[in-house]
Amino acid sequence: MIATDEELAALAAARDDRAFAELVRRHQCAVRGLLVRLTRDPARADDIAQDAFVKAHRKIASYSGRGSFKSWICRVAYTEFLMAARKGRSEARMKERYGAEADTEERPSDMAGMGLDLDRALATLKEDERTCVVLAYSAGMSHPEVAEATGLPLGTVKSHVNRGRDRLKAWFEARENAA
């Protein structure tokens, strides 16, 4: 019989590392996908995902079983993303203040085509809208799960998803009409 995420989380909280490893296997693609869309940088997303899973391992006992494990782990990942973003802004201010040149690396060439267009379109959204849209569509989470993962009220999540979807649609239509 295949264990549920909740059963595995209970085992992991009792320090069963194999149970936690199975949870990582089940959810690493969703977490990494979320972070790639939020950061628009696969290498940075991998680093944040690793930090998120380390933090989740340390705090697995705090998972209460209310709500899905997927929304809990995505909330941990989103929190790690926010912390990394704050750190990045702080480092950018330091570089600016002390005259260091900013990183100007190009995006990897494998992020071309439609994926790059989607990344550009997502970049036009406000941060909360982008987060809600990515969680809902890329991670396949329900609106209540997105609300749980982000800590935003359900109505706000629904508004962000709808508004973000409409803005993405308009962005792609404008590009299509311009072509």
pLDDT in tens, 56-115: 999 999 998 888 899 999 999 999 998 888 876 655 555 555 554 434 444 444 444 445
Distance CA 139, CA 150 (A): 13
Contact 135, 74 (CB under 8 A): yes
**Residue by residue, what is the 3-state secondary structure of the chain?**
CCCCHHHHHHHHHCCCHHHHHHHHHHHHHHHHHHHHHHHCCHHHHHHHHHHHHHHHHHHHHHCCCCCCHHHHHHHHHHHHHHHHHHHHHHHHHHHHHHCCCCCCCCCCHHHCCHHHHHHHHHHCCCHHHHHHHHHHHHCCCCHHHHHHHHCCCHHHHHHHHHHHHHHHHHHHHHHHHHC
Average pLDDT for 119-128: 87
Question: What's the pLDDT score for residue 115?
Answer: 56
Question: What's the pLDDT score for residue 95?
Answer: 54
Contact 42, 36 (CB under 8 A): yes
- The pLDDT confidence band at residue 173, using thresholds 50, 70 and 90, is confident
Supply 7's token pair.
């059963």
Question: What's the pLDDT score for residue 121?
Answer: 86
The residue written with tokens 């194999």 in the block is: 18
Question: What's the pLDDT score for residue 37?
Answer: 87
Average pLDDT for 151-168: 93
Query: For 2-34, how does the pLDDT look when each residue is reduced to its tens digit (9 = 90+)?
Result: 889 999 999 999 999 999 999 999 999 999 999
For residue 5, which amino acid is it? Answer: D
Averaged confidence pLDDT in the chain: 84
Domains of the chain, with CATH numbers?
1-105 (1.10.1740.10), 108-179 (1.10.10.10)
